[in-house]
Structure 1
Amino acid sequence: MNAAGSGPVRTGREEAEREELARLLPAPAERDVPSEPYLHHKDRLMQHIDDDQNPAPAAAPARPARRRLLRPALLMPAAGLALAGALAVTLTGGGESGNGSAQPRETAAVLLDRIAGVAEKTDVKPVREDQLVYVKSLMAGAELKEDGSSKLDPLHEREIWKSQISKPVIKIGLIHEDGDYFPLNEGGPGTPAGVHRPTYLWLSSLPTDPDALLQELYRMTEPEEGHEKAQAVFDLIGDLLSENVMPPENAAAIYKAAAKLPGVKRVDDAVDAAGRHGVGITRTDKRASTATEWVFDRDSLAFLGERRYRTEAIGAGKKGDILEKFAVLERGIVDAYRERPGATTK
């Protein structure tokens, strides 16, 4: 037997009272999410999802691409030392939106897309096979020791003339450094134009679709032991940008392809070997504990140079140690070795 005032009758009365009170209360207001923070967090989430769903393309084994030609004294020894993601989005306090919230910073993908747009509109004169690409640079490389420590050589200027002949050649170029000229000669039957000797004509043969180009770059690249495949591709792109002249549509494609690499980030203030400040694009090789950073002019978005440095201490090597830095001072097309753009041969 139920006690007085309990049971189904009382329960029904309580529910009716709650419904009546609910009708009297005002409807809850919709949550107003500020647009900028919402877009920022949505952008971060979508980038993580995209990174997870778009792994690095599979690639066939290939010969490792050669790094920029350094003087023999600056080449890294073959020691057993490991040397050399989502696009980063952070909030900055540099500006305010209409609702007073911080605005999301430009991502690496957006910056690279702007750089690609400028590159595509750049007027570049095609280079004939009987001509040479000339690049004057300022550079320094580190000599690495077995204990992991490194010593950065003093900065010095270098001039290089690069052959544009497509067929295999023995003399592929000439270097002027420390007051002397050094011919760049290949043994055997010579080296044809290709990833190990990029010419204007060979560069023009690369795909201009960023996805197809990225697949091709992965196919042509083989990382050194202890290095990431994506980092090897990133470094290869840096080499192609540094001491070559590239057709505008191919330059645009290569920047767009770089934006698709995992772990590429934007740097607010990057400095090249000449001390010029600009914006940067960087990628860290977590396996090798090193990072490569490209530097672009803040206004023109022209490629200025790059640098490599340690991201962690390795043996006697310290975090932040510079392994290589490079700055393009002049680039042009000439008709003969030892000729400078706008000048006669010497």
Structure 2
Amino acid sequence: MNRTPWRRRREPLDHVDMAGLLPAPGDPVLSRDRLSTLEEHLMNEIRQAGAQREADVDEGLRAHPPRPGSNPETGAVASGAPRRTGRRLALIGAAVAVAVLAGAAGAAQLTGGEAAEAGGPPPGSVRASVVQVAQGTTEGLGGTVDRISGAAVREQLPDPRPGQFIYIESEVSWLTISEDADTGKSETYVQKLHPRQVWMSPDGRKGWLIEPGNGTTSEEGMTLEGDGETPEPSLNAPSYDYLKTLTTDPDVLLKKIYEETEGQGNSPDQQAFTTIGDLVMEQLLPAELTSALYRAAAKIPGVVVVKDTTDAAGRHGIAIARTDETSGDRTEWIFDPKTFSYLGERTVQMRDAEGIKAGTVIGHTAITERAVVDGMKELPGSGSRA
């Protein structure tokens, strides 16, 4: 979090006489310990929001459920529903899930009035790009999912053994909110595209993250081992060992997803879609489970095919997508148009909302490496360490 010193506002002229009767007030300065405590509190709030998958701006969100039958492309809903400020980038294991969320749930910068007047993006951020958005269709959805599911089975990676680590390397960029602490006015930017490296043990107890591009970690990275007792793994905090136990029947799997995520997110359907998306993005899954997850996703109302989109690396692909009826943004899972292998994910605003114009790309990822390695921080192929 960027700290900007608090500054007292200039007093209006009618306060001059009173000022002469009182000792001059000092500028309050928080101690270093207090600043550290407040910063840690904010980071905890960000982590907790990410752990809930689709973080609500406030509890009022559930008072404005999406209208049944709303258009999956326009996302039209009753007014008054706040949009989410961030979303989690990955689900990586029961013990390490919370720690990794600090860099994935979005970033918030609080500034004083004078800093806000100067304008400009927060450090490490840029204006979000606005693109011409292709409309989605349900035509050809079944056949596309069949091809994607078949490709997932063919791309099976080695089953990680105890002591080995799952390695995921990607390029990522997510929403950043810059807010003026005095006026409450906020502006929206996106992080500069930056690399992210994650190592995870199959049992979910050990992990490491390197993501210095947005300030989440130093160049050396950070441990993702949780403090205290490791929680039971679940869909919201999975490990590879846990995922191996899941059914590969798409109907039974989808039912389980709806049951375990009940009450989360902006709607049951959107939450189910997002849960599947998080599982396939930054994890290593048994091939048959990956195939079943894609087939389950095709059964969720509002899911469409987008015939042309691009991932964070600029690779064109075909996408399976769904628009959040409440926030109006569409999440696209992007696949190679020839091999149907997974490339990455894009989130694009489908309608104007909260100052964000339709067509604004508010999230972008590209998976560049997915492998099994023999040690923590080991890089695939070379045996060298990051």
Deviation at residue 222 of structure 1 after TM alignment: 4.2
Change beyond 3 A, Cα 1:185–1:117:
same
In structure 1, the residue matched to 2:152 is 119
| Amino acid in structure 1 at the alignment position of 2:280 | L
1:334 and 1:276 mapped to 2: Cα distance?
Answer: 26
Correspondence for 2:211: 177
- Compute the displacement of 1:324 (Å): 1.4
Q: Deviations over 1:44-79 (max 9, x none)?
A: xxxx9xxxxxxxxxxxxxxxx9542455486256xx
Structure 1 residue runs without a partner (length 5+): 1-47, 49-64, 78-86, 90-105
**Aligned residue for 1:341?**
380
Return the letter of the residue paired with 1:176. I
1:222–1:184 Cα change, 3 Å = farther
CA distance in 2, matches of 1:304, 1:314: 28
Secondary structure of the corresponding residue to residue 197 of structure 1:
coil
Counterpart for residue 203 of structure 2: 165
Counterpart of 2:369 in structure 1 is 330
* One-letter amino acid of the counterpart of residue 180, structure 1: E
Greater Rg, structure 1 or structure 2? 1
**1:322 positional shift:** 2.1
Question: Matched residues in 2 for 1:244 and 1:73: separation?
Answer: 15
CA contact (8 A) 2:305 2:318 kept: yes
- Code of the residue aligned with 1:75 in structure 2: it is G
Give deviations 1:78-97, integer Å, cap 9, x for gaps: xxxxxxxxx934xxxxxxxx
1:251 is aligned to: 290
Distance 1:198 1:130 in 2: 18
The DSSP-based 3-state class of the residue aligned with 1:118 is helix
Aligned counterpart, 2:106: 75
Report SS of the residue matched to 1:293. strand
Q: Which runs of 5+ in 2 are unaligned?
A: 1-68, 70-86, 91-99, 109-135, 180-184, 213-218
Partner of 1:199: 239
Residue 321 (1) aligns with residue 385 (2): no
How far 1:192 moved relative to its partner? 3.8
Question: 1:126 deviation in Å?
Answer: 1.1
Structure 2 distance, partners of 1:183, 1:210, is 35
Identity of counterpart residues, as a percentage? Answer: 34
* 1:319 alignment partner, SS class: coil
Contact 1:307 1:324 in 2 (8 A): yes
1:309 CA displacement? 2.1
Structure 2 counterpart SS, 1:215: helix
TM-score by length of 1: 0.68
> Which has more strand, going by share of residues?
1
Match of 2:274 among 232, 235, 239: 235
1:270 maps onto 2:301 in alignment: no
1:118 shift after superposition: 2.0
Q: How does 1:8-157 map to 2 (within 5 A)?
A: 67-68=89-90, 69=100, 71-72=102-103, 75=106, 88-89=137-138, 107-145=140-178, 147=185, 149-157=187-195
For 2:176 and 2:162, locate their aligned partners in 1 and report how far apart those are by CA, in whole Å: 35
8 Å contact from structure 2 (residues 199, 209) kept in 1 = yes
Q: What is the aligned-residue RMSD (CA, Å)?
A: 2.7
